[in-house]
């Protein structure tokens, strides 16, 4: 037995001091863990925002190519509005490009040339002519939208063409067939290009050796099986396999040896294929692309026609290397040369991308915009709000203020809480089966999406509203009831206004959740490719998160930046909605 | 003491020269679920009289008070039996709408509970929901009269549009009284109206109660025996759900008939 009075001896004792120290340490540890957790969360958030915003930045500008377009086709000059509408603007744009770079010949080169300008440029040209028919007959300067490939090159996504130092004078001699040129510099200016080509050879050799290793494994496996088998026919077949595979292995090893020997050897000449860095020469107005190099020069083919010369001084020619091999980028050497030429002539403009904020979806990244999805989100959220808010608030008021507390209301309450935990795709299935299948709500429409999202949001709103209503002090109800107010008057005059900030907060959080929801909308067809901006709740539409989901799936590289920009828009809306929730809470918060 | 004796005391103690009985309660039992909180109370509340209900905590005086305007209806588990007559009519009759009853029997609560609205709206709320006035001028006049009667007009007349919650505790309680009398009830029930107030605010309210007696019948629950002695003409003493004794305040405090009453007022328990 210990008497309580004796405990006072413990205060200040060594034992209690040790305990105290341990308690302090425990508190310090907890605080440290807390700070670390917050720091980690903040770091993750900053990383996310940095990546997304950094990526999105690229989508904020677009490029235009300025070209002189002669609108003097007789069909245009004499034509009425119908003719202006029907005119082949696509062909016109192509003709202008051909006129700009007449050296482009053959189908492949022509297609590369046409790819510089967006396929949407012709429609903009048509719009311009239809807007102002007096343009017909004139030659107008038009800014044509650059294609995604040209735009990305201009933004530096495909690396850049870098000028290299050179000292020698250059001679350009046409080859016998006239297709290529023999290029020679007086100094070994091309040593770097040759070295790079040799490095590429080593890569190839490594690849061949790996192939040889795989063949060798076949040799070993078949050899072992041949030893183990009792069947002579089978053994014969396996041995034949060993034979062919070891021959193949030796051949591959020989190839690798040859490649390595070439790479190690000084001097010599190497062919430049599409997997090697591109080497380009600018001579006057023309461009050459090296297809074989040695230290002093090599063989080149013309990209933009070149005149043969005896001796060109060092400052009269340019020598460029593009480190990214042609096979690893969407923009070809020829296109790079054309773009650089246009850039030099001042025919390329990069401006702020308003189209992204005003256009609907498109398969062409340079034409794609977020506005269609934003408007779709707006209509969908409107339907969701108009359905979920009144139903949710009325349900909450009934359950809190009017419903008797019995098993049935308990059951309802448990089920509302469970509903909040149902995976959202299940609501999508429900919407598909009931609203689309049974009630015939138009598919892909904001109406269908809004109904499904309203179902998903209801439990959130009901739970938040009930909590807000419960937080209204009972004294307010007593005061109203004591004055002779009915239950309905008490609820709507006093309880509901006081609970409204909490209800609105819950509603906005629920709506923000619905705004970011993708899965249920996939089930009701809102993933469709919709170009037009929806004008009502029954039009086909898509929403922001679905747009993000779709764009992230497209192979065109320019969609990468657009996906990030769309995510930024979504985040912006979410931040705005949450700010609104905070504002409403602060503005209407009442003390009693 | 038998049940019959208590009835005798309760009914026969009329104040000399006083008017008739406003509320007559007979054999009132209140149950919270299985618990019996009030065990057969008979009491008369006289017109234009302040009747104080005193007794130790948990004796059922507040519960009984809330029976008088059926505020107990809002508690699901609460059940009331017996007979409570207001001007001879049973307030627990099926035909009586508790909403209308509460307009006739107003209530002031322990904690000041003004609505988080303006002072004007607080007072005007009752007349508005009952449709007592048809135009703004009448409403203004009713608000002014109510605030004057509640002795708040001078302090509040310049800030009628400011929130009632911005007033001091004592002012808030007077605002609640003004709000109650704005619908001109016949009876005002007060549930420990001064327990959350300081002595000065308490004194003002007590004075007010005395003035209100002219126009209203008042029943007040209080923990303070001095307050009961100061403001009431009649006092009822409750103990563990029973009404022990009811009579003129002077008589209860100077010459209690029952031992329990004497023990309580002399401070032996409670």
* pLDDT by position in tens, chain B (length 270): 344 444 344 444 444 444 588 999 999 999 998 889 888 899 999 999 999 999 888 888 899 999 998 988 888 888 899 999 998 889 988 888 888 899 999 999 999 999 998 999 999 999 999 888 888 999 999 999 999 988 899 998 899 999 998 899 889 999 999 999 999 999 999 999 988 888 888 999 999 999 999 889 999 999 888 899 999 999 999 988 899 999 999 999 998 888 888 888 888 765
Q: Say if CB A79 and CB A136 are below 8 A apart.
A: yes
Question: Which two tokens mark B32?
Answer: 């919270």
Q: Are B198 and B116 in contact (CB under 8 A)?
A: no
**A401 contacts: CB under 8 Å, gap ≥ 6:** A469, A487, A490, A491, A495
pLDDT in the model for residue B2: 41
Q: Distance between CA atoms of A161 and B100, rounded to whole angstroms?
A: 90
Tokens 């988080």, located at residue: B116
Chain A residues with CB under 8 Å of B183 CB are: 483-484
A138-189 pLDDT, tens per residue? 888 889 999 999 999 998 888 888 888 888 888 888 887 778 888 888 888 8
Q: Output the CA torsion A106→A107→A113→A119 (10° steps).
A: 160
Residues of A in contact with B100 (CB under 8 A): 484
User: What is the pLDDT, as a whole number, of residue A210?
Assistant: 94
Strands lying side by side in the sheet with B105-108: B105-108, B187-191, B217-221, B50-54, B234-239, B242-248
B92 touches chain A (CB under 8 A): no
CA–CA separation, B123 and B133 (whole Å): 13
Nearest CA in chain B to A588: B116
Q: From residue A164, give the alpha-carbon distance in Å to each of A157, A283, A317.
A: 20, 14, 11
Q: What is the four-CA torsion angle of A337, A343, A345, A348, rounded to 10 degrees?
A: 130
Q: Specify whether the CB–CB gap between A333 and A112 falls below 8 A.
A: no
Tokens representing A165 are 């130092």
Distance CA B69, CA B217 (A): 13
Helices marked H in B44-95: 61-67
CB pairs under 8 A, 24+ apart, for A75-79?
A76/A129, A76/A136, A76/A137, A77/A136, A77/A137, A79/A136
Is it the case that residue A234 has pLDDT exceeding 80? Answer: yes
- Asked if the C-beta of B265 comes within 8 angstroms of chain A's C-beta atoms, the answer is no
A343 exposure class (CB count in 10 Å sphere: 0-12, 13-18, 19+): middle
pLDDT value of residue A318: 86
A59: its two tokens? 């989508």
Contact B71 A486 (CB under 8 A): no
Residue from B6, B3, B50, B53 nearest B191 by CA: B53
- The 3-state DSSP class for residue B107 equals strand
Q: How far apart are CA A542 and CA A583, in angstroms?
A: 29
Strands A297-304 and A181-185: antiparallel
Beta strands in chain B (DSSP E): 21-32, 35-46, 50-54, 78-86, 89-90, 105-108, 187-191, 217-221, 234-239, 242-248
Query: Which chain A residues are within 8 Å of B102, Cβ to Cβ?
Result: 481-484
A-B Cβ pairs (cutoff 8 Å, strict):
70
- Please give the structure tokens belonging to residue A90: 């696509």
Contact B102 A486 (CB under 8 A): no
CB atoms closer than 10 angstroms to residue A192? 18
pLDDT at residue number A39: 97
Whole-angstrom Cα distance, residue B105 to residue B86? 9
HSE-CB of A307 using CA atoms within 13 angstroms: 6
Predicted confidence at residue A291, as pLDDT, reads: 87
Sign of torsion over alpha carbons B62, B68, B74, B75: positive
Q: How far apart are CA A88 and CA A139, in angstroms?
A: 16
Tokens of A258: 């040859």
Residue B128 contacts A where some CB pair is shorter than 8 Å: no
Calculate the alpha carbon distances from B212 to B148, B150, B206 in Å.
11, 8, 10
pLDDT on residue B19? 56
């992230």: which residue's tokens?
A: A552
Find the mean pLDDT for residues A236-261: 91
User: What pLDDT does B270 receive?
Assistant: 55
What pairing do the DSSP bridges indicate for beta strands B234-239 and B50-54? parallel
3-state helix, strand, coil in chain B (%, to 5): 40, 25, 35
B230 touches A at CB < 8 Å: no
Taking the C-alpha atoms of residue B127 and residue B138, their distance in angstroms, rounded to an integer, is 10
Contact B71 A478 (CB under 8 A): yes
> ipTM, 2 decimals?
0.86
User: Would you state the pLDDT for residue B12?
Assistant: 40
B116 in A contact zone (CB under 8 Å): yes
- Give the pLDDT band (50/70/90) at residue A203: confident
Best of A399, A484, A486 to disrupt the B interface by mutation (most B CBs within 10 Å)? A484
Check CB contact of B77 with chain A, cutoff 8 Å. Answer: no
How far, in Å, CA of A543 to CA of A376, rounded?
Answer: 5
List of E strands, A353-486: none
Structure tokens at B93: 């009759």
């Amino acid at each position: 037995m210990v008497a309580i009075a004796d405990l006072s001896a413990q205060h200040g004792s060594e034992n209690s001091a040790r305990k105290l120290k341990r308690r302090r340490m425990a508190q310090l540890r907890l605080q440290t863990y807390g700070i670390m957790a917050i720091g980690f969360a903040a770091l993750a958030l900053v990383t996310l925002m940095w990546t997304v915003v950094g990526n999105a930045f690229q989508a904020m500008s677009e490029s235009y190519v300025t070209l002189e377009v002669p609108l003097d086709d007789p069909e245009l000059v004499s034509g009425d509005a119908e003719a202006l509408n029907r005119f082949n603007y696509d062909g016109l744009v192509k003709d202008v490009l051909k006129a700009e770079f007449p050296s482009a010949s053959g189908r492949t080169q022509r297609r590369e040339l046409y790819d510089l300008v967006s396929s949407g440029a012709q429609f903009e040209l048509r719009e311009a002519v239809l807007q102002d028919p007096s343009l017909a007959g004139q030659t107008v300067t038009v800014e044509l939208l650059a294609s995604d490939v040209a735009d990305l090159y201009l933004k530096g996504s495909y690396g850049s063409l870098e000028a290299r130092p050179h000292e020698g004078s250059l001679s350009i001699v046409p080859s016998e067939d006239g297709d290529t040129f023999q290029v020679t510099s007086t100094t070994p200016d091309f040593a770097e290009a040759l070295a790079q080509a040799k490095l590429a050879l080593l890569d190839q050799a490594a690849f061949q050796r790996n192939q040889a290793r795989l063949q060798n494994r076949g040799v070993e496996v078949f050899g072992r099986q041949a030893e183990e088998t009792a069947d002579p026919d089978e053994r014969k077949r396996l041995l034949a396999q060993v034979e062919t595979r070891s021959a193949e292995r030796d051949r591959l090893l020989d190839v690798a040896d040859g490649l390595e020997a070439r790479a190690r050897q000084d001097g010599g000449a190497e062919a430049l294929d599409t997997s090697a860095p591109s080497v380009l020469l600018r001579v006057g107005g023309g461009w050459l692309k090296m297809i074989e190099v040695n230290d002093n020069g090599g063989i080149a083919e013309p990209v933009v026609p070149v005149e043969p010369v005896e001796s060109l001084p060092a400052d009269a020619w340019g020598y460029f290397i593009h480190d990214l091999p042609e096979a690893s980028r969407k923009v070809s050497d020829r296109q790079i040369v054309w773009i650089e030429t246009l850039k030099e002539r001042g025919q390329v403009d990069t401006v702020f991308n308003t189209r992204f904020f005003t256009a609907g979806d498109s398969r062409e990244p340079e034409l794609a915009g977020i506005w269609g999805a934003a408007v779709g989100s707006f209509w969908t959220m409107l339907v969701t709000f108009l359905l979920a808010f009144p139903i949710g608030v009325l349900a909450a008021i009934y359950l809190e203020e009017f419903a008797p507390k019995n098993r049935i209301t308990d059951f309802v309450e448990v089920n509302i809480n469970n509903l909040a935990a149902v995976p959202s795709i299940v609501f999508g299935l429900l919407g598909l089966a009931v609203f689309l299948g049974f009630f015939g709500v138009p598919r892909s429409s904001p109406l269908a999406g809004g109904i499904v999202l309203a179902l998903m949001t209801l439990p959130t709103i009901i739970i938040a509203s009930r909590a807000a209503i419960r937080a209204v002090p009972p004294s307010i109800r007593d005061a109203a009831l004591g004055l002779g107010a009915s239950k309905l008057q008490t609820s709507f005059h006093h309880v509901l206004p006081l609970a409204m900030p909490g209800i609105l907060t819950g509603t906005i959080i629920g709506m923000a959740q619905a705004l970011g929801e993708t899965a249920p909308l996939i089930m009701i067809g809102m993933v469709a490719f919709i170009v037009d901006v929806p004008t009502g709740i029954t039009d086909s539409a898509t929403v922001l998160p679905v747009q993000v989901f779709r764009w992230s799936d497209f192979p065109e590289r320019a969609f990468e930046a657009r996906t990030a920009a769309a995510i930024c828009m979504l985040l912006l809306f979410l931040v705005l909605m949450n700010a609104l929730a905070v504002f409403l809470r602060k503005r209407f918060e009442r003390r009693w | 003491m038998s049940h019959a004796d208590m009835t005798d005391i309760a009914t026969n103690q009329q104040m000399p020269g006083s008017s008739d009985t406003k509320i007559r309660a007979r054999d009132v039992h209140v149950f919270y679920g299985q618990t019996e909180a009030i065990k057969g109370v008979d009491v008369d509340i006289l017109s234009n009289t302040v009747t104080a209900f005193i007794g130790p905590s948990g004796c059922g005086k507040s519960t009984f008070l809330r029976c008088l305007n059926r505020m107990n209806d809002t508690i699901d588990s609460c059940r009331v039996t017996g007979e409570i007559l207001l001007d001879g009519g049973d307030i627990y009759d099926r035909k009586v709408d508790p909403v209308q009853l509460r307009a006739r029997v107003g209530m002031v609560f322990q904690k000041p509970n003004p609505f988080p609205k303006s002072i004007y709206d607080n007072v005007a709320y009752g007349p508005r929901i009952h449709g007592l006035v048809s135009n703004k001028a009448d409403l203004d006049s009713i608000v002014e009269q109510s605030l004057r009667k509640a002795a708040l007009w001078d302090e509040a007349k310049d800030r009628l549009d400011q929130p009632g919650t911005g007033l001091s505790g004592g002012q808030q309680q007077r605002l609640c009284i003004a709000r109650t009398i704005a619908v001109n009830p016949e009876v005002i029930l007060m549930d420990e109206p001064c327990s959350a107030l300081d002595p000065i605010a308490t004194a003002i309210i007590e004075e007010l109660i005395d003035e209100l007696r002219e126009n209203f019948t008042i029943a007040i629950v209080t923990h303070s025996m001095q307050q009961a002695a100061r403001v009431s003409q009649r006092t009822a003493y409750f103990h563990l759900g029973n009404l022990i004794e009811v009579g003129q305040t002077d008589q209860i405090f100077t010459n209690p008939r029952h031992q329990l009453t004497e023990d309580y007022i002399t401070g032996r328990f409670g």
